[in-house]
Amino acid sequence: MKRIEQLSKLKQTQEWDIIVIGGGASGLGTALDAASRGYKTILLESVDFAKGTSSRSTKLVHGGVRYLEQGDISLVREALKERGLMAQNAGHLVKNQSFIIPNYNWWGGYFYTIGLTIYDLLAGKLSLGKSKYITKKKTIELLPTVETKDLVSGVIYQDGQFDDSRLAINIAQTAVENDACLLNYSKVINLLKNDTNQIIGVLIEDQESGERYEIKGKAIINATGVFTNAIMKLNDTVYKKYIVPSQGIHLVFDKSFLPSDHALMIPKTSDGRVLFAVPWHDKIVVGTTDTLIKKHSLEPIALESEIEFVLETAQRFLAKKPTRADVLSVFAGLRPLAAPEKEGKSTKEVSRSHKIIVSETGLITITGGKWTTYRKIAEDIIDKAITVRHLEKKECKTEHIAIHGNKKTNTLDRENHLYIYGTDIPQIIELQNTEPELSEKLHPNYNYTMAEVAWAIRHEMARTVDDVLARRVRLLFLDARAAIASCEKVAQLLAKELDHDEIWIQNQILEFKTIAKGFLLKEL
């Protein structure tokens, strides 16, 4: 997957069947769905793939235990089916993760065991394993640092865990392998309409060269997540709010705070939310929050109230109490929730189901949804496009399309940090052997090598230091200080590979350090 080849494809094509705006989970899934059906497909992303919400999730592939409690059975059933398909189609990135709910009252064990048994049954033949009640002794054995004061019992259940932005990149590669054209750093600056105000294409600006292109297409799909309202401003004559952004944050700690292969799940925090502490790339990710916000940004910043909430809750349930000084990285993500019909609804009441809107101009917009159901969302969007834009009917194929890199990965495989590359692992090892300078470590405390950086630039369309350290190699999300210490090396290799000068290198280092500051906790 090379950007120069994708640009060439853009220039050689007069008209597309499907134009997708937005390179997050929904947009990438839609491009893959359309291309695999045989439609001429192009996807345009204004920055990098999964730069926004899709790289900032809780790293869970799940049906949603909370939605089961709310009685949203159809959403849970759909998500559990998709969880199973993700595990089959991207086995190198999606793993079966066991979760433990510690109970601090006598009835909790029975209540959650019954609820999670229903959860398992809804998954049918795609179930990841049976939920069961466990004793206080067993709970402590499996979660050595769980708070033992007043602990009564535990419940263990299975769900999925994954690497979000790595999956996004692999879906992009799979779409390209199915003949789609995908371009990052290609911003849609206007929508093209005919005399009857029907949408016929988009005007884009290449963010690297400044060149502009008019791209014509039969069906135009707006999958821009929290930036949906901005595209709708170009589309509508009267402004209406289509999505409301909700912020969720995560704190990342050293594994010593939960030295276990099991994740901790708190089903009801002090304000009724769910909190997870999940093992991820040899660290612990703790989150999340759910805060309605007025403004959205490409680099959302965790609010002090959110940081305090996650820290306090983690301290209540972990015997080894994490403090601000222990936070290796903090990241915030925005959920693009479908705007409620009535004002004043809390985020917990706003539906997580996806919603497809067809405008009078013919623009097709997707709102809501979540990572786990990205494939089904894409299927629904293309089915809708076939109907409203009168495309030749072709059946969806993605249920059984293996994502680039797919291979069954066991626990032993995951001890090698390269497991996320799946079937590409031998080529990365070959890079280290044939270009010895690439075998150098990115940072002394981590096993990532410069070969992974070279791979990201040559085969995964990484264009900036942020692309590499945030979304290809996940160092910024795991340890912000280590990422800052590594940024100069990455900038130099990028410049060498992409033919940039010293000024570009210095600008990149400066830009990345500015971004990385948002991942560091401020001293109080």
Whether residue 218 is contained in a domain is answered as yes
Whether residue 142 is contained in a domain is answered as no
Shared domain check, 373 and 287: no
Shared domain check, 435 and 476: yes
Whether residue 191 is contained in a domain is answered as yes
Whether residue 152 is contained in a domain is answered as no
Shared domain check, 278 and 215: no
Shared domain check, 488 and 426: yes
Shared domain check, 332 and 184: no
Q: At 203, phi and psi to the nearest 5?
A: -105, 125
What pLDDT is recorded for position 350? 52
Q: Alpha-carbon distance 239 to 98, whole Å?
A: 45
Whether residue 265 is contained in a domain is answered as yes
Helices (H), 219-331: 228-235, 304-317
Of 300, 315, 338, which one is at a domain's C-terminal end?
338
Q: Is the distance from CB of 160 to CB of 60 less than 8 angstroms? A: yes
Q: What share of the chain is helix, strand, coil (3-state, %, to 5)?
A: 40, 20, 35
Shared domain check, 358 and 237: yes
Of 288, 304, 338, which one is at a domain's C-terminal end?
338
Q: Alpha-carbon distance 293 to 241, whole Å?
A: 14
Distance from chain centroid for Cα 425: 22
pTM score: 0.96
Of 305, 338, 371, which one is at a domain's C-terminal end?
338
What pLDDT is recorded for position 349? 46
What pLDDT is recorded for position 467? 98
Domain encompassing residue 15: 3-53+166-242+351-400
Shared domain check, 355 and 236: yes
Shared domain check, 286 and 433: no
- Count how many domains the chain has: 3
Shared domain check, 509 and 421: yes
Q: Alpha-carbon distance 74 to 337, whole Å?
A: 18
Helices (H), 135-274: 136-142, 164-177, 228-235
Which CATH number characterizes residue 230's domain? 3.50.50.60
Q: Alpha-carbon distance 415 to 423, whole Å?
A: 16
Which CATH number characterizes residue 452's domain? 1.10.8
Shared domain check, 469 and 458: yes
Whether residue 138 is contained in a domain is answered as no
What pLDDT is recorded for position 352? 59
Measured between alpha carbons, how far is residue 200 from residues 43, 44, 339 in Å?
A: 15, 15, 27
**One pLDDT digit (tens) per residue for the chain, 524 residues:** 999 999 999 999 999 999 999 999 999 999 999 999 999 999 999 999 999 999 999 999 988 777 777 777 888 888 999 999 999 999 999 999 999 999 999 888 889 999 899 989 998 888 888 999 999 999 999 999 999 999 999 999 999 999 999 999 999 999 999 999 999 999 999 999 999 999 999 999 999 999 999 999 999 999 999 999 899 989 987 778 888 888 999 999 999 999 999 999 998 777 777 899 999 999 999 998 988 888 878 899 999 999 999 999 999 999 999 999 999 999 999 988 877 665 555 544 455 578 899 999 999 999 988 899 999 999 999 999 999 999 999 999 999 999 999 998 887 788 899 999 999 999 999 999 999 999 999 999 999 999 999 999 999 999 999 999 999 999 999 999 999 999 999 999 999 999 999 999 999 999 999 999 999 987 66
What pLDDT is recorded for position 136? 96
Whether residue 201 is contained in a domain is answered as yes
Helices (H), 275-414: 304-317, 374-388
Shared domain check, 512 and 426: yes
Whether residue 154 is contained in a domain is answered as no
Shared domain check, 361 and 493: no
